[in-house]
Amino acid sequence: MMGWGEFFALSSALFWALAVVLFRRCGNALPPFETNLFKNLLGFGLLWPTVLLFEGWGMPEFTANELVIALASGFVGIAVADTWYLRALQLVGAGRIGIVSSLLSPFVILLSVLFLGESLGPWQMGGFLLVMCGILLVTWQARAEDVDPADLRTGMMFGVGAVFLMAVGVVMAKNILETRSFLWTVQVRMTGGVAGMLLYMALRGRFRSAWQPTQPWRSPGWSIVPLRME
């Protein structure tokens, strides 16, 4: 009988696959940074009623160190990684990036071994090597298709970098997720992602240019941006 852990793992993979396809459609109308900004603002707003409904008004007592780590995890894993991922998706398409996403688990395992003291067995090492071979095979075969080789190389670099940063964000927050409220931790991470993007916009003077493309009446039809809560 399937347990809740297996159910949520399979459901997450299914919905993320759907989200990748929707993100690809959004990429036809919105640049990666603006798509990620809109996604994060939407997620930040929708998470508040969810947190308050299931967790109440009392925020857990995070230590200062935990707050810094959770915010930094959100900046790395949500602001930077998701923007890179959307850029890769725009360059090489959903099929190839779906394969690149398979690197998330091996990266999480390797980082957990290096920084959390977890062990890496021979089956896990073999799985990591198989995934890497799959990435190389997809990249080699794609050269004969309709993707420009320069775009393919750039897209793969953005994709692998994005998945690596997602893994970094997950490993950074792992201990906090195990000891604190899950929803509150997710919201703190989302705060780090949104704040990081807004700070970047302020430093680069991009508020007006970033806002205009996200207005639905400026795009050819309404854009539906899926939410990824990692």
**Span of 20-24, 67-71, 156-160, 189-193 with lowest mean pLDDT:** 20-24
Which pLDDT score is estimated for 194? Answer: 96
- Alpha helix (H) ranges present in 101-148? 104-115, 122-142
Contact 14, 22 (CB under 8 A): no
For 168-221, the pLDDT digits (tens) are 999 999 899 889 999 999 999 999 999 999 999 888 877 666 555 544 444 444
- Report, as an integer, the average pLDDT of 91-114: 82
Cβ atoms of residues 176 and 185 within 8 Å: yes
Residue 171's nearest CA partner among 111, 120, 114, 124 is 111
Closest listed residue to residue 186, CA positions, set 162, 170, 165: 170
Alpha helices in 76-205 (DSSP H): 81-92, 94-100, 104-115, 122-142, 149-179, 182-204
**Confidence (pLDDT) at 228:** 45
Mean pLDDT of the chain: 80
Q: 74 is written with which tokens?
A: 């959100």
Q: What is the pLDDT of residues 79-88, one digit of tens each?
A: 999 999 999 9
Return phi, psi of residue 48, to 5°. Answer: -60, -55
User: For the purposes of burial, counting CB atoms within 10 Å of the CB of 160, is it exposed (0-12), middle (13-18) or buried (19 or more)?
Assistant: middle
Question: pLDDT exceeding 90 applies to what percent of the chain?
Answer: 34
- Strand (E) or helix (H) holding 228: none
| Non-local CB neighbours of 39 within 8 Å, separated by 6+ positions | 82, 225, 226, 227, 228
pLDDT at 112 over 70: yes
How far, in Å, are 6, 9, 13, 55, 73 from residue 2 at the CA level? 6, 11, 16, 27, 31
Question: Identity (one letter) of the amino acid at 123?
Answer: W
